[in-house]
């Protein structure tokens, strides 16, 4: 699960990356194509509470990898290419950092601060790159049909799909809004279609600055306002000092925690948990995953030899304090292979290999 932090040059992408990852990468431009990555725990108070209940030897949160990617010029020409295109193509999701902060010492790529314009510019850049990719693919399919080789039925099926993509893109609509099936998305996975990827917009504000209304330009893309520099400074504090700061100002948690959870949810992921004295662990799965496939995330043997799953909602376990007590009270759900695992389920798998 890899999320790319993108944006125009000088928007504060590395500042947001440092805030997210507690790193201290230089925020000045080096002139080189650099990619910084780091793995981040998904904040989840349920894991904290389960760990307090079980006092395990190990606590493992769900994780996500963030990548700080070089600035996209946003010239509206669809000319993202080379290593940058490849890096963008392997991401599962984008966080688009949009500059709102004012700083005369850091010139904006377009000379003026205009968040609405920058959102539209980035959206157009990604969409145009997809349009070029789709047109090229359709041209190759025409050539393939005339030369023979693959069955005409397979070629026509693929042509129909890419013709639909072209029609949608021609209406200035990103592919993520097209309602493609899981099977169609799988077929398209090798084409690096950038507007197909989920996206989150982060408005990078100056300290005390109000967030502008960009709802019209963002459309269906979620928007989170952040004071990037302040969040980066908070992220550098030791945890005990951070807790004191948050308490002093009456802040429940850093704004970044919400951003991390939002980016996780945008991938249609949620977590189920396994608990015990050895480990309390969150397991990320796609929404709609059945019990047998979820068991396979823990270990392939559990999926192969799946018999049944003992399942309890998180709230019920916290009420009764143990899976054993839930079992004694007849509160455990006994579920088969096709049970759809819910967000927050505690699951114990019975298997035989």
Q: pLDDT tens digits, residue range 125-149?
A: 999 999 999 999 999 998 887 776 6
C-alpha dihedral over 185, 188, 189, 191, to 10 degrees?
-150
353 vs 273, which has greater pLDDT? 273
What pLDDT, on a 0 to 100 scale, did the predictor assign at position 32?
A: 63
Residue located via tokens 């429940």: 252
Nearest to 211 by CA among 74, 99, 108, 71: 99
- Confidence category of residue 28, pLDDT binned at 50, 70, 90: low
Nearest to 5 by CA among 165, 211, 147, 199: 199
- Confidence category of residue 79, pLDDT binned at 50, 70, 90: low
Strand partners, 309: 335, 349
pLDDT at 11 over 60: yes
- Average pLDDT for 58-63: 95
Q: What is the CA radius of gyration of the chain?
A: 23
Rounded to the nearest integer, the mean pLDDT of the chain is 90
Phi, psi of 267 (to 5 degrees): -85, 10
Phi, psi of 63 (to 5 degrees): -130, 155
Domains of the chain and CATH, by start: 288-351 (3.10.20.30)
Q: How far apart are CA 182 and CA 186, in angstroms?
A: 6
Q: How far apart are CA 31 and CA 68, in angstroms?
A: 14
pTM, 2 dp: 0.87
Pairing between β-strand 269-274 and β-strand 223-226 as defined by DSSP bridges = unpaired
Q: pLDDT tens digits, residue range 162-220?
A: 999 999 999 999 999 999 998 999 999 889 999 999 999 999 999 889 999 999 999 99
- Confidence category of residue 339, pLDDT binned at 50, 70, 90: very high
Q: What is the DSSP code (8-state) at residue 191?
A: G
By percentage, how much of the chain surpasses pLDDT 70?
94
What pLDDT, on a 0 to 100 scale, did the predictor assign at position 273?
A: 98
CB-count burial class (<10 Å; 0-12, 13-18, 19+) for 107: exposed
């Amino acid at each position: 699960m890899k999320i790319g932090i993108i944006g125009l040059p000088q928007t504060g992408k590395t500042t947001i990356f440092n805030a997210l990852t507690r790193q201290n990468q230089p925020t000045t431009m080096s002139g080189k194509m650099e990619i910084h990555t780091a793995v981040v725990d998904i904040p989840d108070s349920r894991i904290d509470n389960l760990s307090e209940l079980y006092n395990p030897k190990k606590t493992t949160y769900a994780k996500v990898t963030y990548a700080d990617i070089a600035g996209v010029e946003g010239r509206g020409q669809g000319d993202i290419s080379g290593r940058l295109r490849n890096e963008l193509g392997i991401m599962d999701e984008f966080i688009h950092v949009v500059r709102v902060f004012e700083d005369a010492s850091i010139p904006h790529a377009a000379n003026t601060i205009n968040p609405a314009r920058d959102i539209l510019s980035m959206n157009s850049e990604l969409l145009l790159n997809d349009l070029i990719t789709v047109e090229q693919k359709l041209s190759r399919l025409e050539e393939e049909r005339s030369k023979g080789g693959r069955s005409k039925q397979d070629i026509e099926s693929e042509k129909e799909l890419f013709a639909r993509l072209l029609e949608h893109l021609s209406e200035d609509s990103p592919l993520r809004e097209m309602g493609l099936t899981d099977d169609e998305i799988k077929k398209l996975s090798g084409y690096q279609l950038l507007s197909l990827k989920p996206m989150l917009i982060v408005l990078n504000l100056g300290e005390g600055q109000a967030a502008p209304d960009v709802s019209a330009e963002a459309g269906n893309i979620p928007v989170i306002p952040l004071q990037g520099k302040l969040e980066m400074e908070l992220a550098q504090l030791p945890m005990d000092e951070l807790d004191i700061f948050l308490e002093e100002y009456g802040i429940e948690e850093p704004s970044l925690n919400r951003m991390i959870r939002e980016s996780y949810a945008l991938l249609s992921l949620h977590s189920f948990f396994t608990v015990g004295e050895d480990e309390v662990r969150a397991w990320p799965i796609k929404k709609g995953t059945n019990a047998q496939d979820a068991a396979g995330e823990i270990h392939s043997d559990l999926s192969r030899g799946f018999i049944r799953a003992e399942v309890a909602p998180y709230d019920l376990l916290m009420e009764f304090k143990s899976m054993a007590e839930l079992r004694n009270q007849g509160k455990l759900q006994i579920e088969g292979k096709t049970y759809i695992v819910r967000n927050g389920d505690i699951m114990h798998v019975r298997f035989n290999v």
